[in-house]
Amino acid sequence: MLDFDQKDAPSAEEPALCVLKFGSSVLEREADYAAAAAEVYRHVRAGEKVIAVVSALAGETDALLAQSAAVGGAAPDRLVARLARVGELKSAALMALALARIGVRASALDPDEMKLQAEGEALDADLVSLDAGVIDHALQSHEVVVAPGFCAVHEAHGVVTLGRGGTDLTAVFFAAQTGARRVRLIKDVDGVYAEDPAKNPNAERFAELDYDAAARASSGLIQPKAIEAAKQAGVVIEVAALGAGDATRIAAAPARKAPAHVARPLRVALLGCGAVGAGVLAHLRQRADLFEMNPVLVRNPAKHAAAGVVCTDRLDRALSGGPDLVVEVMGGADEPAHIMSGALQAGAAVVTANKAAVAKHYDSLHAAARASGAALRFSAAVGGGTPILELLEQLADGPGVASAEGVMNGTGNFILSKLGEGAAFDDALAEAQALGFAEADPSADVEGHDAADKLSLVIRAAFGVELAPDAIAKQSLDRVGPEQAQNALARGEIYKQIASCRLAADGSVEACVEVRPVPFDHPLAGARNEENRLVALDRSGRRHALYGKGAGRWPTAAAVFADIMDVQRAFAASAQARLAPPPVLKRA
Ligand code: HSE
């Protein structure tokens, strides 16, 4: 048993904080919250804390102002402001919900909860103060604070708005007040241009420019008050498109143009369209400007015809035309590994969520990737949307990992949670299957094989050591029934399936998958339903904890899509991307 015995070890160093602003140009419709959440997730999995500042959905503020005029006529501004801010309040709640769906811990805070104070006119106010302590506090137990842009509280008027484009000002102000490392304004263009790129397709984009030049060049793109506030506070603004690597930096720096670079879309083969694959496909289809899809490999094409997806049950068709990227979400171990190896050998990047295939064929897949120089990414294979491998790789590159233990199987944790509520084992398993958490053969979850596959990958990331899943001792979940689970709860304990590993003094790794009760104050005790958690101890004695959703369509698809976007950004920056037809510029 690998007990975690350092509860008082110091917590990890403060992670970097960034402010991301999502304007109405990228929040055009409800489905865009998933894309915005994916962008936030990209920063969270890189270890950053995020303040996400949101505008209303496109057209909503205009509709509210029209409604105000229709109902109230020439009403006092302070009353108009009370209605005009509603679009941002709703948007912040929607953004927090989109993040919750993928398992990112987000706190939505209203302006009064953060004491976000403004002065001046009710419809064109200026921000003056913020209680940054409230945000700090929320970020102790969440990865993200979601804040509505554009509105604040005012001593005399009660509530006020900040003028059109005011969410830019909110974002800059938050960055200045919290000491965030950067503020990124996410727009429907990839930066600030010398001329309007809609009018002149050859317009030059700036890599960097100073505040005054930005104010002149970005009319209609960035609120002038926001640029002035950034200049006064010395805040560096990044202006970027959703998912982009590149940005225009607005700082106290001379103007510099970005090299002209138009990337063609990435050609993608998606293998599998089940619980996870369908979520990945939804993300890919939303970015038709970046991805060109091959027919999707499915078992039964007729089943998908109604959804307007071009499908095939023939692997050769799914892989036709030499795709740049193969996304494998089929399940199984040997066959998908064989396909991925072939794709890597041919120079295609591979992204997969398949822990069984990667754990069993780790060396051959990596050898194929090394030989061709193609990328092989499998973040979703461990933890679903919980970035377990990323944290361990970071620690391995830094202080080194001493031990790690976690809840790494969502189905198992779901079943144990339901047993604690009195459900029968078979009913709990059936529910986990219906929710898309369980493996095709759920005995992989129940017997601990799935957790052992993941633990084998954890051991590679943490220690660079090979320990095959078969060599890891496992206990079955079926040793626990509802009565046992409830008795444990009554005495202050909760059953967990815990996968743990530790580096021994002789350099070997001890590992096991156990099903055992832990006290309520154990760091893994709070994981509910399909949640996953990891607690790692580094070699300097620091404890690092991660929380997320380990199973299910959207958390897993978020992790797969984050890998896909990493591949896309690397591709867009490469010479290969320039070799052919220009991209379709419109988003689907
Ligand atoms: N069956 C797995 C689980 C899916 O429940 O965790 C995600 O790997």
Q: Report DSSP letters for 323-364, one per residue.
A: -SEEEE----SHHHHHHHHHHHHTT-EEEE--HHHHHHTHHH
450 lines ligand 1 (CB under 6 A): yes
- Determine the 3-state secondary structure of 97 from DSSP: helix
Helices of type H across 50-161: 60-72, 77-84, 86-101, 132-141
What spacing in Å lies between the alpha carbon of 123 and ligand 1's midpoint? 50
447 lines ligand 1 (CB under 6 A): no
Report the mean per-residue pLDDT for the chain.
93
In the chain, % of residues over pLDDT 70: 95
Which is the closest atom of ligand 1 to the Cα of 550? 6
The predicted model gives 248-276 an average pLDDT of 93
d(CA 177, CA 185): 17
Sequence-distant (≥ 6) Cβ neighbours of residue 500 within 8 angstroms: 2, 403, 404, 405, 406, 455, 511, 512, 514
Instruction: Specify the residue with its C-alpha closest to ligand 1, atom 7.
Output: 551
420 lines ligand 1 (CB under 6 A): no
What spacing in Å lies between the alpha carbon of 436 and ligand 1's midpoint? 9
Can 496 be counted among the known catalytic residues?
no
453 lines ligand 1 (CB under 6 A): no
Structure confidence at residue 576 (pLDDT) = 65
pLDDT tens by residue, 558-575: 999 999 999 999 999 886
pLDDT tens by residue, 480-493: 999 999 999 999 99
Determine the residue of 102, 388, 409, 417 to mutate for testing ligand 1's pocket, defined as the one with the most ligand atoms within 8 A of the Cβ atom: 409
What spacing in Å lies between the alpha carbon of 411 and ligand 1's midpoint? 6
Determine the residue of 354, 389, 445 to mutate for testing ligand 1's pocket, defined as the one with the most ligand atoms within 8 A of the Cβ atom: 445
Instruction: Specify the residue with its C-alpha closest to ligand 1, atom 1.
Output: 438
Closest CA to 356 of 432, 460, 469, 270: 469
Beta strand 158-161 pairing with 151-154: antiparallel
What spacing in Å lies between the alpha carbon of 501 and ligand 1's midpoint? 19
Instruction: Specify the residue with its C-alpha closest to ligand 1, atom 4.
Output: 551
Which is the closest atom of ligand 1 to the Cα of 353? 8
Tell the residue number behind the tokens 């003028």, with chain if given. 163
Tell the residue number behind the tokens 């954890």, with chain if given. 458
Q: Above 70 in pLDDT, residue 13?
A: no
Structure confidence at residue 578 (pLDDT) = 63
Active-site residue identified among 49, 360, 418, 454: 454
pLDDT tens by residue, 285-326: 999 999 999 999 999 998 887 778 899 999 999 999 999 999
- Determine the 3-state secondary structure of 153 from DSSP: strand
Instruction: Specify the residue with its C-alpha closest to ligand 1, atom 8.
Output: 551
Structure confidence at residue 486 (pLDDT) = 98
Tell the residue number behind the tokens 């302070």, with chain if given. 78
**Cα first-last separation, the chain:** 52
